[in-house]
């Protein structure tokens, strides 16, 4: 299982395959996890999810941008998404990766693009989440978050349970009363910075969920794991935490029935809906996370 995960994470960064994926579009099962290549396709998917009682966070796929013009174009795509959310009255937030905004280029570039996006989001009342990426970009992402949070209220970020540093990060972010998405973590990290054992990751995940909720902060528990879901439910009941202080988040195309079940139980469920032509890296990480996803894709190819 770990070998398969390593294999797909390696493929996610293979540049020739990334280029080929852009050329050939959403094939070989990727359409299950990606809502289309255009904003129009994505808005239709969001509207349908909303009709089923599910909230959404939309993400225009793209990462590791190293040219300022590309970063500016990515920012333009995010602004278009915000405007579409407002125009169609969609129950949706926006998620983005700071590397797509120029994090690897310079602080000036990323801050310029983020302020453009956040000004648009503020006017449209759309919440924005800064997705977390691999370990070397963890601290830079949190630094950008802190600077922007001082000026923009409707802004959150992501904390990954598999990193040793996570509890300390929660303590440092707590004065901002942050709305955080808590996740296990989807990147391949060395054991020097991340728990290698699943049991320890799960234990730390529960620990930070409890800590963030008891700190009184809004908490998005992003998981498909029934044990983590049940833990969160029981924790909320035990401590009298209202259901409007937290939500469950799941990925588009994964555990659709569970999403609807939780929504019917009265919990807020937000679906992470990615779209765009740069879908390959995201798709490979989804295959790395769950062997069942690989089986689904192979089945789809065989049917062709």
Tens digit of each residue's pLDDT, the chain (304 residues): 555 455 445 444 545 545 544 555 555 556 678 898 899 999 999 999 999 999 999 999 877 788 999 999 999 999 999 999 999 999 999 999 999 999 999 999 999 999 999 999 999 999 999 999 999 999 999 999 999 999 999 999 999 999 999 999 999 999 999 999 999 997 889 999 999 999 999 999 999 999 999 999 999 999 999 999 999 999 999 999 999 999 999 999 889 999 999 999 999 999 999 998 776 666 666 666 655 544 444 343 333 3
* CA 158 – CA 186 distance, rounded (Å): 12
Q: What is the pLDDT of residue 11?
A: 44
pLDDT of residue 278: 73
Over the chain, what HEC string results? CHHHHHHHHHHCCCHHHHHHHHHHCCCCCHHHCCCCCCHHHHHHHHHHHHHCCCEEEEEECCCCCCCHHHHHHHHHHHHHHHHHHHHHCCCEEEEEEHHHHCCCCCHHHHHHHHHHHHHHHHHHCCCEEEECCCHHHHHHHHHHHHHHHCCCCCEEEEEECCECCHHHHHHHHHHHCCCEEEECCCCCCCCCCECCCHHHHHHHHHHHHHHHHHCCCCEEEECCCHHHHHHHHHHHHHHCCCHHHEEEEEECCCCHHHHHHHHHCCCCEEEEEEECCCCHHHHHHHHHHCHHHHHHHHHHHHHC
Sign of CA dihedral 41, 83, 218, 60: positive
pLDDT at position 291 is: 53
CATH of domain 35-278: 3.20.20.220
Compute how many other C-beta atoms are within 10 angstroms of the C-beta atom of residue 67. Answer: 11
Q: Which of 143, 120, 171, 119 is nearest to 130 (CA)?
A: 143
* CB neighbours of residue 18 within 10 Å: 18
The active-site residue out of 59, 104, 131, 169 is 131
Asked if 60 contacts 275 with a C-beta cutoff of 8 angstroms, the reply is yes
In angstroms, how far is CA 105 from the centroid of its own chain?
22
Rounded CA-CA distance 193/205 in Å is 16
131 noted as active-site residue: yes
Active site residue 181: yes
**pLDDT value of position 299:** 41
- Report the greatest alpha carbon distance in the chain: 53
Q: Could you give the C-alpha distances from 15 to 21, 160, 195, in angstroms and in order?
A: 10, 26, 28
Q: Which of 59, 104, 169, 181 is catalytic?
A: 181
Asked whether 208 and 170 are in contact (CB, 8 A), the reply is yes
- The residue to which tokens 């949190």 are assigned: 142
Its pTM surpasses 0.95:
no
Question: 């020739």: which residue's tokens?
Answer: 16
Query: What are the CA-CA distances from residue 294 to residues 22, 100, 186, 270 (Å)?
Result: 20, 27, 16, 24
């Amino acid at each position: 299982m770990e070998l398969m995960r390593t294999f797909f994470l390696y493929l996610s960064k293979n540049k020739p395959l990334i280029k080929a994926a852009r050329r050939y579009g959403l094939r070989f099962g990727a359409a299950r996890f990606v809502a289309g290549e255009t904003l129009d396709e994505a808005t239709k998917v969001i509207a349908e999810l909303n009709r089923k009682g599910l909230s959404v966070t939309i993400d225009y796929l793209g990462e590791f941008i190293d040219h300022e013009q590309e970063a500016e174009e990515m920012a333009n795509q995010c602004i278009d998404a915000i405007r579409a959310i407002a125009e169609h009255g969609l129950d949706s937030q926006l998620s983005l990766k700071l590397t797509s905004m120029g994090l690897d280029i310079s602080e000036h570039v990323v801050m310029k693009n983020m302020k453009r996006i956040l000004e648009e989001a503020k006017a449209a009342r759309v919440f924005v989440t800064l997705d977390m990426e691999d370990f070397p970009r963890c601290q830079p992402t949190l630094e950008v978050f802190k600077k922007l949070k001082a000026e923009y209220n409707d802004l959150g970020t992501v904390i990954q349970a598999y990193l040793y540093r996570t509890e300390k990060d929660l303590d440092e972010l707590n004065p901002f009363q942050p709305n955080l998405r808590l996740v296990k973590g989807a990147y391949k990290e060395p054991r020097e910075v991340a728990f290698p054992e699943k049991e320890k990751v799960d234990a730390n995940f529960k620990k930070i969920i409890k800590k963030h909720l008891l700190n009184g902060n809004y908490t998005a528990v992003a998981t498909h794991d029934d044990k983590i879901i049940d833990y969160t439910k029981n924790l909320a009941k035990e401590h009298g935490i209202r259901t409007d202080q937290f939500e469950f988040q799941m990925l588009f195309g994964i555990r659709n029935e569970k999403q609807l079940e939780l929504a019917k139980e009265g919990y807020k469920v937000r679906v992470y809906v990615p779209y765009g032509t740069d879908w390959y890296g995201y798709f490979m990480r989804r295959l790395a996370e769950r062997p069942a996803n690989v089986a689904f894709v192979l089945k789809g190819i065989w049917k062709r």
